[in-house]
Chains A and B, each alone.
Chain A
Amino acid sequence: MTTYRREIILFALLAILYGAVFTLFGAAYGLRMSVEALCYALVALGLTIQWGYAGLFNAGVMGFVAIGAFMTVLVSFPPNMAFWNSDMPARLGTVALYAIAGAALTWGATRLNRLGVPSRLRTLIAVMTGAAAWLVVSAALDPVARDIERQAGFIGGFGLPVLLGWVAGGAAAGAVAWFVGRICLGLRSDYLAIATLGIAEIVKALLKNADWLTKGTLTVSPLPWPVPTPEQVGFIWGRALYLALMATLVVVAWALLERAWRAPWGRMMRAIRDNETAAAAMGKNVNRRRLEIFVLGSVLMGAGGAALITFTRIFDPAGFLPLNHTFLIWVMIILGGAGSNLGAVFGALFVYVVWVMSEPAALLLFDAVREAGQAWFGWQAPADLDSRALQARVFVIGLTITLVLRYAPAGLIPEKATMQAPRPSAREKN
């Protein structure tokens, strides 16, 4: 029988912390922080199953968050009539047809060996067809994109319900994860980290520069909400409704994961993580299972990212930072306890408050340093001291990661050894 004393104490402390935020900064601010923390919790649940259940290092959480956010803009933002009433949708459709034709030709070229073409020649032909198709499509897209930017700004969204946008966000993130996972899983574990790091930066570059699609750095706002917006019902009510929605989503996701974890599926995942060779010998398809969990985790990340950006009401591709949207989430889950869903939720709620509060705290601290430096040593502080103070938090994040890995690899709420399987007690848990 496992006891939950540790969890109860930690969550009670968390409740006190949130109570303090609510009383000190007012309900509107407290609600905003709680909603954002819950969005992070959804992303953290996605990451904890990748890392804790399967030991997959996803260094590009930001990319999946950004994909989810972009998809929700595309699906749920009101349609841009200046675009739809022009001839541009038709021209864009033509480009899409070019792209499909190019892809089909390239795919056909890769099959030429069936017709008796030597395979080396086939590869050459396929690569050349692909390059030519790429050049033609990008040359065709350029003028259309330029016209859209000049005349309509961007293509706008489809005006569909927001929750559908979140689902689409999760699905798109999952699709990208499937592509990355297919290539990298089964090779050495570091390759996945490298590839996800790359895909995150590429997604960001794409969203930032494809102005015709995303409005780029001009940002899209205000994003529609799945619940009544603050303009309709006031700040407190709007945010409270959003909070209720997010709390439901997190609890549902948590309950489903917890159930899966106790089911045969979860047992199989633990077996694969703890002893890959033995699991493979038992006939488990290790790479396939890993791909499954990688996609599942990324779906949660995409949906969480969509929820987060919807709440902030502004889609700003330049606002996606590896620090806020990848490494902060890493701190959340390793501090909370890898492989423990409750730990991930606790870590997200706790670390987010600390993170938000650390901003004024860092500014205050550096102000004190500046005063003291001037008074005692006549030190002339650099003009950008405030931005430097915020950068100092990067150091703290890094220090937390290394310290937790070294001294408390199991986290604050460690994964519980569950029922049936008697497990070796000295197992290294990371």
Chain B
Amino acid sequence: MNEIVFFINKVLVAGLVTGSIYAMGAVGVTLVFAILRFAHFAHGDLMTLGAFIAFALTAAFPHAGAIFGLPTAFVMLPAAMALTALLAIWIDGRFYRPLRERGAKPVVLVMASVGVTLMIQGLLRLFAGTGTRSMFIAERKDIFRIELPFELARRKIVITEPQILVILFAVVAAISLHWFLTRTRTGKAMRAMSDNPDLARLSGIDTQQVVRTTWIIAGSLAAAAGTLLSLDVALKPDMSFNILLPIFAAAIVGGVGQPYGAIAGGFLVGFAEVLSVFNWAILLRPFRPLLDGVVELPTHLAFVPTEYKLTVPFVILVAVLVWRPTGIFRGKVI
């Protein structure tokens, strides 16, 4: 039983948390892909930027969280999301729209977004340094240890407060996104523009409005994902390129332009990462007495060493591009 509890701690909880973060990032990437038709390389740094805004707000009001009984950074999340969304719209107007209006190829926009990602990185490091910080300034991270009502399970299920918040936030975000896309006028306009931009324009849809909404959703989800990730682990200024690959893999696996696909892809990539670095030998431990002398069980049995975790999203990406370039949910290829 202890082994199963260990499995829950290491795989189920970790997979749900990683998956939620990736899903929130991938939804933004896939929406930008669908509406603006380019791979937004600055998304990882948009996440870092949002996390730093939340950190700055937390540092300004370190005791605000105590009123609600939540981590301060989480209380500051709405403000950080709004600010990041505004910044995303501003970045679009400064750096992407002029290129779009000139009729540049998507790949030029990809490059412009690389330029933007370097600018954000440079500014963050200039003003905040390169060190790692904790998002908890005036409080401590709550850790819950849940005892199981079984005799055999002596280990406890361990889950931290940020982890619970990540999972809950992702669920709420997914439901509100669904409601927005299917029930509101702007949401429907977005789906129309994603399906056929020319037809959408002809039917009188305000494309500027749709582009703005896209950046609001992408920017605020990125800020939320970045903040929640740094609440769970720590605030690092250099996560962008490492998180970019899993997010893109998730968006492509789910089918480009498919928000639900991106959510599914995010969890798929998250769980694949966790499962492939998990030490499977632990699950075989109970069978050791049975197999003694027959087969020697290794003490460490993982598909990928932790240092090579990044290969997992890459392999998933390659597999999808080879066998099903449209992704699971049949996204756009052009």
| Interface positions of A (Cβ within 8 A of B) | 55, 57, 59, 131, 134-135, 139, 183-184, 187-191, 193-195, 197-199, 201-202, 205-206, 208-209, 322-323, 327, 330, 334, 382, 384, 387-388, 391-402, 405-406, 409, 428, 430
Contact of B118 with A430 in the complex, beta carbons under 8 Å: no
- In the assembled complex, the Cα of A391 lies from the Cα of B118 at a distance in Å of 10
Q: Does B252 contact A (CB under 8 A)?
A: yes
Q: Determine the chain A residues whose CB is within 8 A of the CB of B120 once the complex forms.
A: 398
Residues 87-124 of B, flagged 1 when their CB comes within 8 A of A and 0 if not, give 00000000100110011111110111011111111110
Given contacts A194-B317, A202-B314, contact A398 B115 (CB under 8 A): yes
Complex CA distance for A397 and B129, rounded to whole angstroms: 18
Residue in contact with A202 in the complex, picked from B33, B104, B310, CB distance below 8 Å: B310
Kindly identify which residue among B33, B38, B119 contacts A402, using a CB–CB cutoff of 8 Å: B119
The answer to whether A401 touches B118 (Cβ under 8 A) is yes
Q: How far is A327 from B308 in the complex, measured between Cα atoms in Å?
A: 23
> A184 to B321, Cβ gap below 8 A?
yes
**Contact yes or no, A59 B99, CB < 8 A:** no
* Complex Cα spacing A391 to B128, Å: 11
Say which one of B20-28, B164-172, B239-247 lies at the interface with A: B239-247
CA distance A135 to B116 in the complex (A): 41
Q: Is B333 an interface residue (CB 8 A)?
A: yes
- Report if A209-B241 is in contact (Cβ < 8 Å); known contacts: A139-B298, A388-B126, A406-B99: no
Tell me if A202 and B311 are in contact (CB < 8 A).
yes
Residues of A within 8 A of B311 (CB): 202, 205
- Interface residues of B toward A: which range? 35 or more
For B121, give its contact among A208, A330, A394 (CB under 8 Å). A394
The reply to whether A392 and B126 contact each other, CB–CB distance below 8 Å, is: yes
Q: Does B130 lie within 8 Å of A387, measured CB to CB?
A: yes
Binding site for A on B (CB under 8 A): 33, 38-39, 41, 95, 98-99, 102-108, 110-112, 114-123, 125-126, 129-131, 241-242, 244-245, 248, 252, 256, 298, 301, 303, 305, 307-308, 310-311, 313-314, 317-318, 321-322, 325, 333-334
> Do residues B114 and A401 form an inter-chain contact, with CB atoms below 8 A?
yes
Q: Is the Cβ of A59 less than 8 Å from the Cβ of B114?
A: yes
Which 5 interchain pairs have the tightest Cβ spacing?
Answer: A395-B122, A398-B118, A401-B115, A394-B122, A398-B119
Are B106 and A322 in contact, CB atoms less than 8 angstroms apart? Answer: no
Given contacts A330-B114, A391-B130, A399-B119, are A194 and B248 in contact (CB under 8 A)? yes
Instruction: Tell me whether B114 and A327 are in contact (CB under 8 A).
Output: yes
* B139 CB → nearest A CB, Å: 25
Q: Check B252 against A205 for contact (C-beta < 8 Å).
A: no
Chain A's closest residue to B119 (CB) is A398
Q: CB-CB < 8 A to A189: which residues of B?
A: 105-107, 110
The CB with the most chain B CB atoms within 10 A, among A135, A184, A393, A395, is that of A395
Least CB distance from A391 to B in Å reads: 4
**Which of B106, B118, B256, B310 has the largest count of A CB atoms less than 10 A from its CB?**
B118
A184 to B39 alpha-carbon distance, docked (Å): 14
Residues of B within 8 A of A205 (CB): 307-308, 310-311
Indicate if the CB atoms of A428 and B103 lie closer than 8 Å: yes
Q: Which residues of B contact A402 (CB under 8 A)?
A: 95, 112, 115-116, 119
Which of B39, B115, B117, B123 gathers the greatest number of chain A CB atoms within 10 Å?
A: B115
- Given A198-B314, A395-B119, is A405 in contact with B99 using a C-beta cutoff of 8 Å? yes
Which residues of the other chain, A, contact B110 by a CB distance below 8 angstroms?
57, 189-190, 193
- The answer on a CB contact under 8 Å between B39 and A201 is no
Q: How far does the Cβ of A57 sit from chain B's closest Cβ, in whole Å?
A: 5
In the complex the two chains form, is A187's CB within 8 Å of B121's CB? no
User: B118 — which chain A residues lie within 8 A by C-beta?
Assistant: 323, 327, 394-395, 397-398, 401
Out of A139, A201, A327, which one reaches B245, CB within 8 Å? A201
Contact of A55 with B115 at beta-carbon distance under 8 Å, contacts A190-B38, A198-B313 already known: no
List 8 A-B residue pairs with CB atoms under 8 Å apart, sorted by A's residue number: A195-B314, A208-B307, A391-B122, A391-B130, A394-B122, A395-B118, A396-B122, A406-B99
* Closest chain A residue, CB of each to CB of B123: A395
Sample of 14 further A-B pairs with CB below 8 A, known A195-B321, A387-B130, A392-B126: A135-B303, A183-B318, A190-B107, A193-B41, A205-B308, A327-B118, A382-B129, A395-B126, A397-B115, A397-B118, A398-B120, A398-B121, A406-B95, A406-B112
Beta-carbon contact of B107 and A384 below 8 Å: no
| Interface pair A193/B298, CB less than 8 Å apart | no
Residue of A193, A202, A399 near B308 (CB, 8 A) is: A202
Q: Given A183-B318, A189-B106, A428-B104, is A398 in contact with B41 using a C-beta cutoff of 8 Å?
A: no
State the CA gap A195–B311 with chains docked (Å).
11
CA distance A334 to B108 in the complex (A): 11
B131 surroundings in chain A (CB, below 8 A): 384
Query: Is B104 a contact of A187 with CB atoms below 8 Å?
Result: no
Q: Which residues of B contact A55 (CB under 8 A)?
A: 105, 107
Contacting residues, chain A, for B95 (C-beta < 8 A): 402, 406
* A387 to B, closest residue via Cβ: B130
A191 with B111: CB separation less than 8 A: no
A384 touches B130 (CB 8 A): yes
Nearest CB to that of B45 among chain A residues? A398
Q: How far is the CA of A172 from the CA of B123 in the complex (A)?
A: 37
- Tell whether, in the assembled complex, residue A191 and residue B252 are in contact, meaning their CB atoms are under 8 Å apart: yes
